Amino acid sequence: MDKMDIHQPSGKMKKIVLQDFLTEEQIEACIQIYKQETSTFVSDICAAIIEPNMAEINRKLGQENDARYLGYAVLFVLDTLAIR
C-alpha cells in the first residue's frame, strides 16, 4: 500500500502504511465498511476499529494520534487504491 504522511509532535511528517498501525484483520474490516459506500465511513471506522485500539495504535506509531485524522488517512488510502 502507498505510504501516507502523519504529523509528529515535533511538527515533522512521518511516512507510514496502514500495516504500521492496523492488523490485516482491521484493514479488511475497514475495506468491508468502505465497500458499503456510506457517507459516514470515517465515523464508522473510528468507532468500530480505530478508537477501541488507540492505545495499541499509539504504541505502534510511537506517538499520540487523533482517531479521526487516522480515519481520514485510511479513507485517503482506500480512495487512492479505488477499492470497491
pLDDT tens for 34-44 read 999 989 999 99
pLDDT bucket at 6, cuts 50 / 70 / 90: low
Q: Is 28 a residue whose pLDDT tops 60?
A: yes
CA distances from 49 to 2, 42, 52 (A): 20, 10, 6
Taking the model in full, what pTM does it have? 0.82
- Residue the block writes with cell 509532535: 9
